[in-house]
Structure 1
Amino acid sequence: MRPDRPSFNRRRLRRLPLLSPRQWRRRLVFWLGAALVGVVAVGFAAAAEQAQHLFSRMVAWQPLLVLLLAPGALALSLWLTQRFFPGAQGSGIPQVIAALHIQDPARAGRLLTLRIAAGKVLLLLLGLLGGASIGREGPTVQVGASIMHALGRWQRLPRPELLRLLVLAGGGAGVAAAFNTPLAGLVFAIEELSHSSFKARTGSLTLTAVVIAGLTAIGLVGNYIYFGQSTARLEMGLAWVAVPLCGLLGGLAGGLFSSMLIHIPRLLPGAVKQVALRHPVLFAAGCGLLIALIGLASGGTSYGTGYEQAKLLVEGQPGVPESFAFWKLLATVVSYLSGIPGGIFAPSLSVGAGIGHWLGALLPGAPADAVVLLGMVAYFSGVVQAPITAGVIVLEMTGNHGMAVPLMGAALIGFAASRLVCRRPLYATMARRFMAGPH
């Protein structure tokens, strides 16, 4: 029998991507997920800001109160992480990279549950209430990926590759909404999260998620520039010596920082290592005490994300000591070593700004505000070893496209300098630990 022609044609039309009801249902779920990532990122940012302001008010009232707040908050955060939210520790970006490369969907999914996402948010706020030097941007990547993963599971996507695309898009959307940097979100997803697995379809899906999440965030809080508008310029001539100098010193410092995070846990003295292994909550409390002492020594500038200090430096305002970069880097290492949930994006950008501030005093021929940006991009590129992401994210966060060429130059030099002291990229190395773990 010949098939009924009208029915046959309808079935053929429904198989077309633009007319398939199933494809449109998936697109709508995907778009809804990206918008939800934007809403959560905005709410997360507002809550983190309030937590940091509450901490600042408490220590302004009594500076020595931090000697109780920091150890207590870090100990409680680590206990809750181990007891209720295993997999929420650290930045969150290594977990997303691991989930994208683990072949077993069940194992990958255990790194991206909504329970872990909720724990990530709550425990990061607790860390900020204790003055830890942590940021919310890396955790937002894991939260965004977890939301998209949950929606993909709900839709029962037929192929694991489609679920990975959702996870990748959710991570990129998280960066875009957290910083209001849509281009950086796309570049970060391609350069840092997906690595060699990038395909044309990956880019289109991620771009769609980034745009929707970014528009959602703009609709809620307006179109802002993260660090405020920078008008710095670097004229051709002798001032350009700042580019290789900042690139070299910032990249070396960023590489050393990454190397410390990778190797310090196994290089700790024997007694300290035993405490960390057998009594991790007590060890976290000790890290909290160190954070409190570092904060007191720095005049309170090492606490929290470092956003306020970096913004002052980018805008050329006074109030940040030249020793800021040293204390902030030290506080960030100790915070990460404690094992509590928290990212290093914002602290690293603030350390880089501090390095640029210090170098600016040694380079009177170069504008100080321009050197701050160069130090920021070079150090951040050295930490993450993703120079394109570093250059784009600093450009978008400062709104200064006139510095595009020197910033990209400093980012590339910083990347090369970092590889001299840290051969393995930080996030990829930590992702391998999750891939090899019991998840």
Structure 2
Amino acid sequence: MQPFAKLLRRLAERVPDDLVELQQWRRRLAMLVSALLIGLLAVGFAAAGDFAQRVFAAQAAREWYMPLVLTPVIFVVIAALTRSLANEARGSGIPQVIAASRDSEKAESGELLSVRTGVAKLLLSVGALFGGASAGREGPTVQLGAAIMVQVHRLLKVRVSPGVLIAGGAAGVAAAFNTPLAGIAFAIEELAVAYEQRVAVLVMGAVMIAGLTSQGIAGDYVYFGHVGHGMPVSSVLVAAPLAGVLGGVAGGLFSRALLTLRGPGGRWSGVLGKRPLVTALVCGVIVAAIGVVAGGTTWGTGYEPTKALLEGARGDYWFGPAKFLAALVTSASGIPGGIFAPSLAVGAGLGNLLTPLFPSEQSGTIVLLGMAGYFVGVVRAPLTAVIILSETTGTTAVILPLFATCLIGDWAGSMVCRERLYHALARDFMPPVPEAKAEENRYT
């Protein structure tokens, strides 16, 4: 009996270690499978979104009045489907991930990051682009990435921690833009409350695998192509403050207006929320009309006109303000769609307003600074803005001007709208707390 008792003791000592090791391998497998799926779906999402925009552009080119019929109808259909199938899929998707990361146990069993919400987010976001919505796919990819992480971890019986959600969102940004460093920066600035070493390893692993997967399919590309050149210090001292203040104020106005229209406690959010289909119809008409007047440049993500301005092409000076209105109205409609790409397009248009003040060979760089100022004014994440613009344009020559512009833009944006947009919108997906109730009066 004594040898048998010794054997049992040894087994008892080994079992916990074996279980711990098994759990670690499950966790690693869950991260690997999740990141692979995020990379694959990000590429598929991008292809579907581009196809949707081409189809809409072709329809709009046939008859000038076609968008005035098509866009409102699709907005209403998307709003109705969102409300009936997955109301948690509305809007950008980033606020949902922020809300879920604050209570990961509830997120695991709730609807914010469920399979239904993830599938609905993908399909309805593509559907919105079929209707000419001024929306991006990056925010939806963040929610989709976090949802994939949650569901794979549940399937493999691995605990869903806040770091899992953060890693999924970061991988979504990295795969959507082919910007791995921006994904990590976004996780630090926007998604995480406290950034621990363990979370850092998880985020970097997810970003690396998702990025390599998307690169393996779509190739190692630079989102906007290699643009931007260095600037003399004399030009930087003028351009950075101008772009930072103009972009930051405009970005702050966008955030403040959107929170008034759709934010928790916003003056108009209750009215618009009670009549979602009427709101979608009116917003669809406005978005269509803006696009018709602007020659179609305000529909979709705004990638093509933004790329042209970065390459030094002469653009219409009203593009920035028109895209601003189209993006704001699309977001106010409540249909699924992101604001990352439209914000970059608006910023490019605002930067274009400043180009007459500088030599023509610097126009692309001035446009880039305008993008930085406006983007950080909306998102209020200066490090993410610098890195994402550096990676999407393949330039390091203007890192310091970008930093200067983003810091000024962040300050200017905070003067107009004190709350950070995504975090304010995230309260819509959280249980009411006293602090949130106190903040609700800010926009009433």
Q: TM-score range by the shorter chain?
A: over 0.9
After the TM superposition, which residues 252-271 of structure 1 pair with which residues of structure 2 at under 5 Å, given as runs? 252-265=249-262, 266-268=266-268
Q: How far apart are the structure 2 equivalents of 1:12 and 1:82?
A: 47
Q: How far apart are the structure 1 equivalents of 2:154 and 2:370?
A: 42
Shift of 1:38: 0.3
Shift of 1:48: 0.1
For the pair 1:229 / 2:226, whether they are aligned, the reply is yes
The answer (yes or no) to whether the contact 2:108–2:154 under 8 Å persists in 1 is no
For the pair 1:308 / 2:311, whether they are aligned, the reply is no
1:348 matched residue in structure 2 = 343
1:218 to 215, 228, 236: 215
1:330 to 315, 322, 325: 325
Shift of 1:107: 7.5
TM-score of the two chains, using structure 1 as the length reference: 0.92
Q: Report the AA paired with residue 298 of structure 2.
A: S
Greater mean alpha carbon deviation, residues 116-125 or residues 35-44 = 116-125
Shift of 1:337: 0.7
1:73 matched residue in structure 2 = 74
Q: Report the AA paired with residue 280 of structure 2.
A: A
Q: How far apart are the structure 2 equivalents of 1:86 and 1:253?
A: 29
The answer (yes or no) to whether the contact 2:283–2:329 under 8 Å persists in 1 is yes
**Structure 1 pair 94/277, CA: closer, same or farther in 2 (3 Å)?**
closer
1:295 matched residue in structure 2 = 291
Q: How far apart are the structure 2 equivalents of 1:156 and 1:277?
A: 37
Shift of 1:248: 1.1
TM-score of the two chains, using structure 2 as the length reference: 0.91
Q: How far apart are the structure 2 equivalents of 1:239 and 1:203?
A: 34
**Structure 1 pair 26/102, CA: closer, same or farther in 2 (3 Å)?**
closer
After the TM superposition, which residues 195-214 of structure 1 pair with which residues of structure 2 at under 5 Å, given as runs? 196-214=193-211
After the TM superposition, which residues 399-410 of structure 1 pair with which residues of structure 2 at under 5 Å, given as runs? 399-410=394-405
2:88 matched residue in structure 1 = 87
Shift of 1:155: 2.2
After the TM superposition, which residues 26-425 of structure 1 pair with which residues of structure 2 at under 5 Å, given as runs? 26-102=27-103, 104-105=105-106, 109-158=110-159, 162-194=160-192, 196-265=193-262, 266-268=266-268, 274=271, 276-318=272-314, 320-364=315-359, 367-425=362-420
Q: Give the match's secondary structure for 2:203.
A: helix
**Deviation per residue, 1:389-427 (Å, 9 max, x gap):** 011100000000111111111111100110001000000
Please, which runs of 5 or more residues in structure 1 have no aligned partner? none
Q: Give the match's secondary structure for 1:226.
A: coil
For the pair 1:430 / 2:425, whether they are aligned, the reply is yes
Q: How far apart are the structure 1 equivalents of 2:15 and 2:26?
A: 17
Q: How far apart are the structure 2 equivalents of 1:305 and 1:365?
A: 26
The answer (yes or no) to whether the contact 2:26–2:158 under 8 Å persists in 1 is no
Q: How far apart are the structure 1 equivalents of 2:107 and 2:16?
A: 35
The answer (yes or no) to whether the contact 2:148–2:168 under 8 Å persists in 1 is yes
Among all aligned residue pairs of Structure 1 and Structure 2, give the percentage whose two residues are the same amino acid. Answer: 45
Shift of 1:106: 5.3
Q: Report the AA paired with residue 98 of structure 1.
A: A
**Structure 1 pair 65/388, CA: closer, same or farther in 2 (3 Å)?**
same
Q: How far apart are the structure 2 equivalents of 1:228 and 1:202?
A: 32
Q: How far apart are the structure 1 equivalents of 2:214 and 2:235?
A: 41
The answer (yes or no) to whether the contact 2:247–2:347 under 8 Å persists in 1 is yes
Greater mean alpha carbon deviation, residues 397-406 or residues 6-15 = 6-15
Q: Give the match's secondary structure for 1:358.
A: helix
The answer (yes or no) to whether the contact 2:42–2:172 under 8 Å persists in 1 is yes
Shift of 1:83: 0.7
The answer (yes or no) to whether the contact 2:38–2:148 under 8 Å persists in 1 is yes
Matched length: 426
Q: Give the match's secondary structure for 1:361.
A: helix
Q: How far apart are the structure 2 equivalents of 1:80 and 1:74?
A: 10
1:3 matched residue in structure 2 = 6
Q: Give the match's secondary structure for 1:3.
A: helix
